[in-house]
Amino acid sequence: MTTRNLPDFPWDRLAPFGDRARQHPGGIVDMSVGTPVDPTPEVVQRALAAAADAPGYPLTYGTPALREAVAAWFARRRNVPDLDPAGVLPTIGSKELVAWLPTLLGLGAGDVVMHPQVAYPTYDVGARLAGATPLAADGTLQVGPAAGSVKLVWINSPGNPHGRVLGVEHLKKVVAWARSIGAVVASDECYAELGWDGVRVPSILDPEVCGGSHEGLLVVYSTSKQSNLAGYRAAFTAGDPVLVQRILEIRKHAGMIVPWPVQEALRVALGDDEHVAEQRERYRRRRELVREWLVAEGLKVDHSEAGLYFWATRDEPCWDTVADLAERGVLVAPGDFYGPAGARHVRIALTVTDERVAQLAGRVAGPDGS
């Protein structure tokens, strides 16, 4: 594999529109990249500081206390009462695992990695890094003759960028199909704590989905959004202990280790639901204000029942919408970053300060479009 096989980094294309938005007299309202802007919870900061004296090497596998905390979190928050701590592995953020999972599973030429048609670009990139073939498909009927070569199936619920939530019956069918062809299912559930309006967000490890067996299943999870820990790179994968052990052996050789102070911060973050509820309420308030602005802008919201984004359209090319909003100092992400099927949508992130969100009401285009 060489870098010639990789797509251009998409965010570089957005830079000129960011420059234009910054020229607005009121400054930029950057709703493009979903990077947290609120403080890291004090309870987590204290845990990191308390673990700062760390002269020895940490465990690649994570401390037993951390793995048990992940299992307890799944039982308490995700309706997964039977996760074996042996099937838990901390990762250096979730993106690195998404990018390297096909390689860590031993995939290569002739193998197919299936991912959603509108999706986080790193699913595609991870397949290419391994020398495997990425396949964008939202249903098994779209796979056709390639089914026999599918070795890894990515699902993402709640989805990035569109916030779509897959229900229990849908997930059950994916698991059954993948098991019938011997493929691993990797479920990116990083926005699971952010379901809105009472929507249920099931995990692929939920007994209702997997029948009480985690064989062939992995969940990828990050605390970046729910706990404002993007700078900590505090994440984990969990599920089938056999798969976790395969991944662990390679990571030990490669030195892919989460620092011990971060492991301790992650353990504490997973055990404290209060700060998650507080952050969720911040996003709920911003979500209401941003939705009002979208309606005033004539943008129609699709899906978006969970997560940190609105997936919206004016039924025009996405870059036209990006350019128009940039003129008024608002930067959003073009939908085609997430695949050709997103070419008429934009993604609007809620990860902006209350002060910036409040400015949106004054930046709606007038009757003449100005």
d(CA 271, CA 292): 35
Q: Over the stretch 107-133, which tens digit does the pLDDT of each residue have? A: 999 999 999 999 999 999 999 999 999
258 and 158 in one domain?
A: yes
Query: Domain check: are 206 and 299 in the same one?
Result: no
> 281: buried, middle or exposed (CB in 10 Å: 19+, 13-18, 0-12)?
exposed
Q: Looking at the structure, do residues 80 and 216 belong to the same domain, yes or no?
A: yes
Q: Work out the average pLDDT over 86-98.
A: 97
273 band by pLDDT with thresholds 50, 70 and 90: very high
- As a whole number of angstroms, the distance between CA 364 and CA 329 comes to 11
Say what the pLDDT of residue 367 is.
42
Q: Which of 241, 271, 301 is the last residue of a domain?
A: 271
CB 127 within 8 A of CB 116: no
**Are 293 and 336 within one domain?**
yes
Q: Containing domain of residue 266, as a range?
A: 53-271
Considering the domain boundaries, does residue 44 fall inside one?
no
**Residue 358 CA, distance from chain mean position:** 26
Rounded to an integer, what distance in angstroms lies between the CA atom of residue 270 and that of residue 276?
A: 9
Q: For residue 315, is it within any domain?
A: yes
Phi–psi pair at 186, nearest 5 degrees: -115, 120
pLDDT attached to residue 184: 98
- Does 147 score more than 90 pLDDT? no
Same structural domain, 88 and 218:
yes
Note whether residue 338 is domain-resident. Answer: yes
Residue 298 confidence (pLDDT) above 60: yes
At residue 3, does pLDDT exceed 60? no
Residues 267 and 280 in one domain: no
Count of structural domains, the chain? 2
Mean local confidence (pLDDT), 186-208: 97
**Residue with more model confidence, 251 or 146:** 251
- Structure confidence at residue 142 (pLDDT): 87
d(CA 360, CA 173): 42
The last residue of a domain, from among 253, 271, 289? 271
**Same domain? 175 vs 289:** no
Q: How confident is the model at residue 88 (pLDDT cuts 50, 70, 90)?
A: very high
CB 131 within 8 A of CB 1: yes
Q: 122-130 and 95-104 are packed helices; what angle lies between their axes, rounded to 10 degrees?
A: 30
Vertex 51, ends 54 and 229: CA angle to 5°?
115
> In this structure, what CATH number is given to the domain that contains residue 258?
3.40.640.10
> Quick one: pLDDT band at residue 146, thresholds 50, 70, 90?
confident
Average pLDDT over residues 212-216: 98
State residue 29's pLDDT score.
Answer: 97
CATH code assigned at 301: 3.90.1150.10
Can you tell me which residue has the tokens 């969720």?
280
Q: Which residue among 252, 271, 290 closes a domain?
A: 271
Q: What is the mean pLDDT of the chain?
A: 95
Pair (211, 94) in one structural domain = yes
What's the 3-state SS for 240-284?
CHHHHHHHHHHHHHHCCCCCHHHHHHHHHHHHCHHHHHHHHHHHH
Tell me: the pLDDT tens digits for 318-369? 999 999 999 999 999 999 999 999 999 999 999 999 999 999 988 887 544 4
The pair of three-digit structure tokens given for residue 239, joined into one six-digit string: 């599920």
Percent of the chain with pLDDT over 70: 97
Distance in angstroms (rounded) separating the CA atoms of residues 241 and 89? 9
**CA dist., res. 263 & res. 65, Å (int):** 9
Same domain as 17, residue 59: no
Cα–Cα distance, 267 to 278 (Å, whole number): 18
Bin 218: left if φ > 0, else alpha if -120 < ψ < 50, else beta: beta
Note whether residue 369 is domain-resident. no
Q: Is residue 344 part of a domain?
A: yes
CB 236 within 8 A of CB 73: no
Q: Quick check: is 320 in a domain?
A: yes
Is 147 inside any structural domain? yes
Across residues 263-277, what is the average pLDDT?
98
Are 195 and 169 in the same domain? Answer: yes
- The answer to whether position 191 is within a domain reads yes
- Using the predicted structure, report yes or no on whether residue 143 has a pLDDT greater than 90: no
Main-chain phi, psi angles of 114, to 5 degrees: -95, 135
Q: Average pLDDT in the 280-293 region?
A: 97
**Are 110 and 178 found together in one domain?**
yes
Cβ neighbours of residue 139 closer than 8 Å, sequence gap 6 or more: none
- Whether 10 has a pLDDT exceeding 70, the answer reads yes
User: Which helix or strand (DSSP H or E) is residue 129 part of?
Assistant: helix 122-130
Q: Determine how many CB atoms are found less than 10 A away from the CB of residue 221.
A: 26
Residues 133 and 18 in one domain: no
